[in-house]
């Protein structure tokens, strides 16, 4: 009986030892960092007051949530998306909910990122409204589900046009004015798939890998002009992204993935993004635990990661 009573105690002692010697030294700096970050955000959050913020993909999901967060922080918000009716709905919602901010009513401009030839005119229109743009939030995007061997190249091109070339074209069109003003902030809403690639997401992962590389280079080149670059490495967010994803033959996927449905709320992610804009962070990860672990495995144990992805591909074969 004595031996049985001591066994759980020994297990708990071993767990407590691991917690104290391994986890605590890691946890303490993490706690301190978050306390300091919260203090800095509280101290500097008013710096957003009056800033001109251009949000793409503002008609729904994370873009809509970001519009609310920036608007209630006192920003002058420009809402951009393909769906003008939905933009009007978001604008009316902002005016109704945040009644104290009516001094700067939101402005809506229609934007199709896949039409890169129209982007210079769009930027001129945006700059003519307030004279400048302080913060560009590259949030619009399209997702993809499909098998490489059966996916038409036009689907790859469409995904890259929206998720990469369109955002690059918009950034390049706005950048000269930011450099001239020696001030600006580029925010790119990316994905954990910018750092890892999972089966049946090839076009989407490729576009996010490209955007990550572009932003890392951009950050270095514009630092001397006081232009900041923030990349959001996002995990699963509970939006319609998977519902609106395109498949290998160009059709709409139309399925809400379980992982997407269980993802973070757009409001939570939007708050994290706005907080890190204020803190002038360079890159943040807003993700669940499993994608974070996958990123570390891909970096430090690639052979294991590749084995896991091969098993996943076989299990989920389309």
Annotate 36-100 with three-state secondary structure: HHHHHHHHHHHHHCCCEEEEECCCCHHHHHHHHHHHHCCCEEEEEECCHHHHHHHHHHHHHHCHH
CA–CA separation, 240 vs 54, rounded Å? 21
User: Helix 202-222 and helix 153-160: axis angle, to 10°?
Assistant: 30
CA–CA separation, 241 vs 248, rounded Å? 16
Active site residues: 204
Taking the C-alpha atoms of 244, 248, 249 and 253 in order, what is their torsion angle to the nearest 10 degrees?
Answer: -30
Which residue intervals of 110-229 are DSSP H helices?
119-130, 153-160, 166-181, 202-222
């Amino acid at each position: 009986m004595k031996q049985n009573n001591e066994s759980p105690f020994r297990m708990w002692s071993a767990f407590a030892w691991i917690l104290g010697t391994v986890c605590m030294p890691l946890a303490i700096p993490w706690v301190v960092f978050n306390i300091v970050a919260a203090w800095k955000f509280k101290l500097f959050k008013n710096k957003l007051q009056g800033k001109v913020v251009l949000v793409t993909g503002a008609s729904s999901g994370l873009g809509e949530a970001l519009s609310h967060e920036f608007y209630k922080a006192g920003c002058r918000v420009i809402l951009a998306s393909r769906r003008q009716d939905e933009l009007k709905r978001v604008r009316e919602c902002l005016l109704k909910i945040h009644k104290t901010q009516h001094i700067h009513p939101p402005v809506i401009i229609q934007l199709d990122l896949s039409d890169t030839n129209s982007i210079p005119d769009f930027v001129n229109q945006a700059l003519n409204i307030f004279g400048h743009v302080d913060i560009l939030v590259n949030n619009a995007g399209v997702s993809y589900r499909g098998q490489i061997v059966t996916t038409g190249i036009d689907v790859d091109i469409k995904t890259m046009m929206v998720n990469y070339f369109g955002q690059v074209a918009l950034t390049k069109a706005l950048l000269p004015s930011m450099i001239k003003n020696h001030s600006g902030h580029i925010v790119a809403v990316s994905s954990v798939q910018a750092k890892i690639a999972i089966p049946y997401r090839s076009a989407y992962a490729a576009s996010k890998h490209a955007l990550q590389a572009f932003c890392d280079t951009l950050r270095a080149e514009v630092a001397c002009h006081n232009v900041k670059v923030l990349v959001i490495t996002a995990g699963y967010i509970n939006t319609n992204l998977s519902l609106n994803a395109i498949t290998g033959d160009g059709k709409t996927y139309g399925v809400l993935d379980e992982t997407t449905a269980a993802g973070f709320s757009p409001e939570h992610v939007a708050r994290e993004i706005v907080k890190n804009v204020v803190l002038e962070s360079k890159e943040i990860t807003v993700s669940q635990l499993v994608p974070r672990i996958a990123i570390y495995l891909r970096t430090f144990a690639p052979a294991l990661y590749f084995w896991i992805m091969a098993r996943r591909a076989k299990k989920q074969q389309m």
